[in-house]
Amino acid sequence: MTEDAFITFPKGFIATGVHVGLKKTDAPDFACIASKSPCRVAGVYTTNLVKGHSLKRSIDLVNSETTFHAVLINSGNANACIGRQGIEDANRIAKTFSSEFGCNESEVLTFSTGVIGQRMPIDLITAAMPNVVKNISETAESAHLAMHAIMTTDTVEKEAAAQIECHEGVVRIAGIAKGSGMIHPNMATMISVITTDVDMDDSLLSSLLKRITRTTYNRVSVDGDTSVCDSVIIMANGQSGVHIEEHSEAFALFESALYDICEDLARKIAADGEGATKLIEVNVVGAPTEKDAYLCVLSVCRSPLVKTAIYGEDANCGRIMTAIGYSGAQFDPEKVDIYLGSLPVYKDGCALSFDESVAKDILSQKEIGIEIHLNAGDFNDRMWTCDFTHDYVTINGSYRS
């Protein structure tokens, strides 16, 4: 991981974020991340049956085209559930941008995040395209504007970058993400764009992204809601001149660096959950199957009762037992051990008496670890969530207004 954490850190990438008028404030609300040379793209998308129009267009393009130039993302409006008009609007944005930028319309991917069911002010957006293209650059400042432009209820910046040095040369990777509420495995209201100057085959890039997403972005739950727009996109333009094949030493280095970036961004998303004051990491150890391990971490991370108890710094660990109990996972409750941080709170399914002041100390931290030993097999899983607070209710009681 490097300190130069901006999305244009890899060679040949340029970006910007401008205000086109979708957000009520004057903050940037339209991001462009582009590669000077054509790049490859792989993506992982929301599993929601309802998909936003901008996203549907991009999925189709990634499936049918081979090279791309730019990713455009607007916040403030999801461009979802408005019918044919939604696809036409997405096409029009891509067309206007491409003619200004000088590429094919089909090389421009579109993403939208924000309110569902309202048409975007399309004229405002297309009118801003000359300005977008004029401002696009490889500076860190422009890169940060792109990151800010995709933020909605986010309160902290989410970017990460890494550089690997292998036999064949230096490869750079960088990522930005937005995500705060409506976050749940299989994407949720999360958008992440990763850029890299590696030269890698589409199919290898795609399978790598899927594998890494599974244990990073898809292991974050804020509120159990999964949104209609959202995606992780990786853009690889090959400008490092380093070609990486599977099963090579360089591939292992690349995978590890990409994993670190995705994990870092995923943790930042969980920690910045709407209204959150604490990051919670739940580890389940010793499940009989992979699925049982997943069901347990999911159930604990989704439980409003666990999440409010942690907000209240109340070591009410019976709620953790309860959550794994109804998770659908198979295990023997009388073999379960639970730790809060390093403090044993359950042993063989029985509550232990523990020093409440030690528990309070652990719960007063910004990061809380919950470890659950099922003692029923060899499968583990891990997920991040955040506490459930008064501010979550405030934020989501009046999102549109």
What residues act catalytically? 189
Sole window of 141-149, 249-257, 265-273, 308-316 interacting with a copy of itself (rule: CB under 8 A): 308-316
Is there binding between residue 393 and a copy of itself (CB under 8 A)?
yes
Out of 32, 41, 166, 323, point to the residue binding a copy of itself (CB under 8 A).
323
* 8 Å CB contact between 232 and 188: no
The kind and range of the H/E element at 1 are none
What residues contact 138, with CB distance under 8 A and at least 6 apart? 8, 13, 14, 15
Task: For 196-211, give the DSSP string.
Answer: E--B--HHHHHHHHHH
Q: With CB under 8 A as the rule, give the number of residues binding a copy of itself.
A: 69
Are the C-beta atoms of residues 164 and 261 closer than 8 Å to each other?
Answer: no
What CA–CA distance (Å, rounded) separates 238 from 341?
43
Residues numbered 167 to 206 that lie near a copy of itself (CB under 8 A) are 181-182, 184, 186
Question: Which range binds a copy of itself by CB under 8 A, 36-44, 210-218, 264-272, 317-325?
Answer: 317-325
The CA angle 81-115-303, to the nearest 5 degrees, is 100
User: Is 375 an interacting residue with respect to a copy of itself (CB under 8 A)?
Assistant: no
- Is residue 150 within 8 Å of residue 32, measured between CB atoms? no
Q: What is the C-alpha to C-alpha distance for residues 6 and 261, in angstroms, rounded to an integer?
A: 12
Q: Which residue among 115, 124, 252, 362 contacts a copy of itself (CB under 8 A)?
A: 115
Backbone angles phi and psi of 167, in degrees to 5: -45, -45
- Is residue 394 part of the contact set for a copy of itself (CB under 8 A)? yes
Is residue 344 close enough to count as binding a copy of itself by CB under 8 A? Answer: no
117 binds a copy of itself (CB under 8 A): yes
Name the residue nearer to a copy of itself (CB basis): 98 or 385: 385
Task: Work out whether 308 is an interface residue with a copy of itself (CB under 8 A).
Answer: yes
If one asks whether residue 309 binds a copy of itself (CB under 8 A), the answer comes out as: yes
Closest CA to 266 of 312, 208, 329, 218: 218
Q: Six-digit token pair at 117?
A: 């069911």
The nearer residue to a copy of itself, 176 or 321, going by C-beta atoms, is 321
* Angstrom distances, CA of residue 26 to CA of 22, 134, 287: 9, 19, 49
Exactly one of 37, 47, 99, 364 binds a copy of itself (CB under 8 A); that residue is 47
Contact between 136 and a copy of itself by CB under 8 A: the answer reads no
**Closest approach of Cβ 267 to a copy of itself, in Å?**
21
Closer residue to a copy of itself, CB minimum distance, 48 or 237: 48
**Binding test (CB under 8 A) with a copy of itself, winner from 8, 16, 35, 48:** 48
- Nearest distance in Å: CB 251, a copy of itself: 34
Of 134 and 390, which has the nearer Cβ to a copy of itself?
390
Q: Of 100, 225, 255, 260, which lies in the binding site for a copy of itself, with binding defined by CB under 8 A? A: 225
Residue in the structure block whose two tokens are 């470890």: 371
Asked whether position 349 contacts a copy of itself by CB under 8 A, the answer is yes
Query: φ and ψ at 295, to 5 degrees?
Result: -60, -40
Task: Round to whole Å and give the CA distance between 303 and 44.
Answer: 26
110 phi and psi angles, rounded to 5 deg: -125, 140
DSSP state of 368: E
Residue numbers 51-80 binding a copy of itself by CB under 8 A: 51, 78, 80
Nearest distance from C-beta of residue 56 to a copy of itself, angstroms: 11
- Count the neighbouring beta carbons within 10 Å of the beta carbon of residue 213: 21
Report how far residue 162's alpha carbon sits from residue 255's, in angstroms, rounded to the nearest whole number. Answer: 11
If one asks whether residue 226 binds a copy of itself (CB under 8 A), the answer comes out as: yes
Q: CB under 8 A: which stretch of 18-26, 144-152, 218-226, 255-263 binds a copy of itself? A: 218-226
Positions that interact with a copy of itself (CB under 8 A)? 46-51, 78, 80-83, 115-118, 181-182, 184, 186, 223-228, 302-305, 308-309, 311-312, 314-319, 321-327, 329-331, 333-334, 346, 348-351, 388-390, 392-401
